[in-house]
Amino acid sequence: MKALLIEDTLTSATLVSHQLRKMGIEPILARDGERGIELFKAERPDLILLDIIMPGMDGFEVARRIRQLEQAGEWTPIIFLTARTSDADLEKGISVGGDDYLIKPVSETVLAAKVKAMQRIAQMRYSLLVLTRKLDDANQELTRLSSLDGLTGISNRRQFDEILLREWRRSGRQAKPLSILLCDVDHFKQFNDGYGHQVGDECLKAVARTLQSALRRPADLVSRYGGEEFAAILPDTDLPGALRVAEVMRSAVEGLRITHRFTPNGVVTVSIGVASMVPPRGEADSAGLLKRADDALYGAKQSGRNRISATPIESVA
């Protein structure tokens, strides 16, 4: 442990330094306020013992400047050691950032007790900071987990809704296209009933990974939309671009070759509805875009599944 002793009187500095060493504390001596501030910045001591009456900058100003130098969350105990005994001086010492105020000459017993008290407070404060950081980390992890689907590990519906609203507003401000894909695993009920829920869960996990791997840009997002449905948000993407992404997804899922004897194709496939538009001024949310993607998905299913359907571009302008 290091203590910065800012004291211009040699006799007092020598005595206090001796007392500190007996406590196992390394003293760092400064004879004036300017030097004391320099040593504080260079050494970052664990404790400061500070005289008030010094040539040039007095102890009150030194304490004030040291507090200004500390970063958020930092705290160095400051104990004033002074011959000034008035209540006004004590009040000012505390108000400028001091933590205790001792009248010189200070007995070794009193000084040791005060230093121990400051050490105890510092340790308690450090423990509190550690606990606070752990709580912050835990809260961040909870926030992250709350945005993920528990089964597949990709974004959940809540995250999808939040990101869609954000991208809808951004696209509207910048007059850029925003595309939505709604994806449904074909004949999944029959798959789940025929092979069991555990196999069905593994199928959904594989489909989720495959859909996610089809995205190439950090801003793109694929989410579990509900049950066997997935959804993707493609910012700054027009209808032709969205159709290309959808085809990559459809083809990749079919390429998994997951056996599905309850479907004409014999393997797990997906149907995808695509919608794209530049959010118009005055339209507060993306309900219309989602409705068009849902209608397109219905069209893909009605047309035989394992295919892509899109809302005609002229109907979303």
At 39-59, the pLDDT tens digits run 999 999 999 999 999 988 999
pLDDT of residue 93: 92
Q: Give the chain's mean pLDDT.
A: 91
Residue 36's closest CA among 18, 16, 58? 58
Residues 298, 299, 300, 305, CA torsion sign? positive
List beta partners, residue 308.
272
Pair type for strands 2-6 and 26-30: parallel
pLDDT one-digit tens code per residue, 246-295: 999 999 999 999 999 999 889 999 999 999 999 987 777 889 999 999 99
What percentage of the chain carries pLDDT values higher than 70? 98
Confirm if 246 and 222 have CB atoms less than 8 A apart: no
pLDDT at 177 over 60: yes
Question: pLDDT band for position 222 (50/70/90)?
Answer: very high
Share of the chain above pLDDT 90, in %: 71
Q: Where does the pLDDT of residue 314 fall: very low under 50, low under 70, confident under 90, or very high at 90 and above? A: very low
Exposed e or buried b per residue across 286-302, where buried means at least 16 C-beta atoms within 10 angstroms of its C-beta: beebbebbbebbebbbe
Rounded Cα distance between 118 and 121, Å, is 5
| 3-class DSSP state of 142 | helix
Residue type, 192: N
The pLDDT confidence band at residue 315, using thresholds 50, 70 and 90, is: very low
Kindly list the distances between the CA atom of residue 93 and the CA atoms of 4, 38, 87, in Å, as whole numbers in the listed order. Answer: 17, 21, 10
Confidence band for 312, pLDDT divided at 50, 70 and 90: low
CB count in 10 Å sphere of residue 236? 16
DSSP code of 267?
B
Kindly give, in sequence order, each residue whose CB lies less than 8 Å from that of residue 218, ignoring residues fewer than 6 positions away: none
pLDDT of residue 317: 37
Give every CB contact of residue 20 below 8 A, 6+ residues apart in sequence.
3, 5, 26, 27, 49, 115
- Rounded average pLDDT over 158-179: 94
Q: What angle do CA 21, 27, 31 make, to 5 degrees?
A: 135
Whether the model clears a pTM of 0.85, i.e. scores above it, the answer is no
Helix or strand holding residue 222 (H, E): strand 221-226
- Of 228, 247, 254, 314, which one is the catalytic site residue? 228
Q: What is the pLDDT of residues 114-142, one digit of tens each?
A: 989 988 888 888 888 888 788 888 888 77
| Residue 5 near residue 30 (C-beta atoms within 8 A) | yes
Q: Could you report the per-residue pLDDT of 4-14, keeping only the tens digit for each?
A: 999 998 888 99
More confident residue, 28 or 106: 28
Q: Quick count: other Cβ atoms within 10 Å of Cβ 99?
A: 20
With vertex at residue 143, the alpha carbon angle to CA 142 and CA 148, rounded to the nearest 5 degrees, is 90
Helix (H, G, I), strand (E, B) or coil at 154: coil
d(CA 268, CA 258): 5
pLDDT above 50 for 316: no
Mean pLDDT across 183-200: 96
Residue 157: CB partners within 8 Å, gap ≥ 6? 223, 224, 225, 226
Count CA within 13 A, CB hemisphere, residue 227.
Answer: 11
Is residue 108 among the annotated active site residues? no
pLDDT digits (tens, 9 = 90+) for 83-111: 888 999 999 999 999 999 999 888 889 98
